[in-house]
Structure 1
Amino acid sequence: MIPEEEGVYVFNREARSWVKISEDGPWVPKEDGTYLAYFRNHICPGCKAFDRVWEELIEKCVDKLHAVPALVQCRNFFFDCSDRTASDTFLLFLVNATPQVIVMVVEGGELRYVERCYGFEIESVEDLLAFANEARERMRKYAEEGEAESEEESGEELVVEGGNWKEVVEKLRKLLLEGRNVREVCDERGCRFVVE
């Protein structure tokens, strides 16, 4: 049930099929809601193992999922990917290890919350459902804790302006790759890239 081609796909529940998304830049959901994106590489042994859990979620439990399923896949991270939307999406969300799932919450048309979990931390569909379905509650708690902490702390922050995600990706690509070597390291848990 996982598409073979590299790219970004969003699951259409009514048609029970994947719809390929093409953007000029990375895919960032624009419609309000919760999204669960699975980032995978074609040559990742850990991804092939995690595919079992993901496919069970899509085939048997998608109606229990309170999120829109999405799939972002490349041959080998953002640096060996024939689909620019997928490559840019890997880079924007700083996916440097696979398998990885990211839950995103969009409110008011803006990305408000992003949380990641590595595939080897998820052993079952129930774990995956809990990760996605409890995201808004974790977001609320984090916001409450963050407000209390921000009153106590002062210091520098890194602020990323949303909206022009393509520009953000280009800056990240330049920072990561300018004059550097990128290599992949894989084991049974998954793959990750190292910038040297």
Structure 2
Amino acid sequence: MEDRDLFIGILRRLLKAEEKPGPGKAQPGLEVEQVDVDSPHGIYKYSRDKGRWILEWVDEDDFTQRLEPGNYVVYFDNAKCPACRVYDVYWYPFVKLIGDTYPCTYMIALCNWFSRDCNSNAASRAFEKFDVHASPTTLIMTVDSEKRVARSRKIEGVKRMDELAKAIEEFLSPKA
């Protein structure tokens, strides 16, 4: 019964996204409990202090130039993506419950449908820069002191919390 209810809920959210035109542009600083199909497009960063997602970048060409050195986990989310709605079931609890375990900053790049249907230059360019053509896609990356992506790993498809944790651990572990 739980699977059926989950499936119906996902279908309702998808239908809601299909009925409406994409959201308009919002100003950076918008805070939301969860980024969803009705959220303005852009790049959101999770604030551990507030327990909320903050819209950081909307119009920038390359958001990575604004990042501090460190590790980042970026979820490339499409509002019209059925698999993304399934991934949400794992992603949000992971970030809130387990995310602090890792020295990473969590982010979401949201568009309607990849870079082709997006009201945010920053998110659209991020999809292009990291060559994202499947959704959901999770990117784990390290940004160096010169604001360059020093290394990254792209993971396509829905990942459960344990699979996401394993991918992050493997990325962060020193190479043998």
Q: For residues 46-104 of structure 1, what are the alpha-carbon distances to aligned partners after superposition, in whole Å with 9 as ceiling and x for unaligned?
A: 10111101011123222223311000010010010011110111111010110010001
**In the alignment, is the contact (CA less than 8 A) between 1:67 and 1:133 conserved in 2?**
no
Matched, 1:67 2:95: no
- Offset at residue 26 of structure 1 (A): 2.6
Q: For residues 89-146 of structure 1, what are the alpha-carbon distances to aligned partners after superposition, in whole Å with 9 as ceiling and x for unaligned?
A: 11110101100100011122321001111123x2x212112212331336x45xxxxx
- Offset at residue 2 of structure 1 (A): 2.5
Partner of 1:189: none
**In the alignment, is the contact (CA less than 8 A) between 2:78 and 2:111 conserved in 1?**
yes
Partner of 1:114: 152
Q: Pick the aligned partner of 2:90 from 53, 72, 93.
A: 53
Partner of 2:162: 126
**In the alignment, is the contact (CA less than 8 A) between 2:134 and 2:157 conserved in 1?**
no
Partner of 1:90: 127
* Letter matched to residue 49 of structure 1: V
Aligned equivalents of 1:72 and 1:84: distance in 2? 11
Higher Cα Rg: structure 1 or 2? 1
**Taking every aligned residue pair, what percent have the same amino acid on both sides?**
23
Give unmatched runs, 5+ long, in structure 2. 1-32
TM-score, structure 1 normalization: 0.65
**In the alignment, is the contact (CA less than 8 A) between 1:106 and 1:112 conserved in 2?**
yes
Partner of 1:103: 140
- What is the 5 A alignment of 1:5-84? 5-22=40-57, 23-28=59-64, 30-84=67-121
Aligned residues: 138
TM-score, structure 2 normalization: 0.72
Matched, 1:2 2:2: no
Bigger drift between 19-28 and 4-13 goes to 19-28
* Letter matched to residue 67 of structure 1: C
Give unmatched runs, 5+ long, in structure 1. 142-196
* Letter matched to residue 6 of structure 1: H
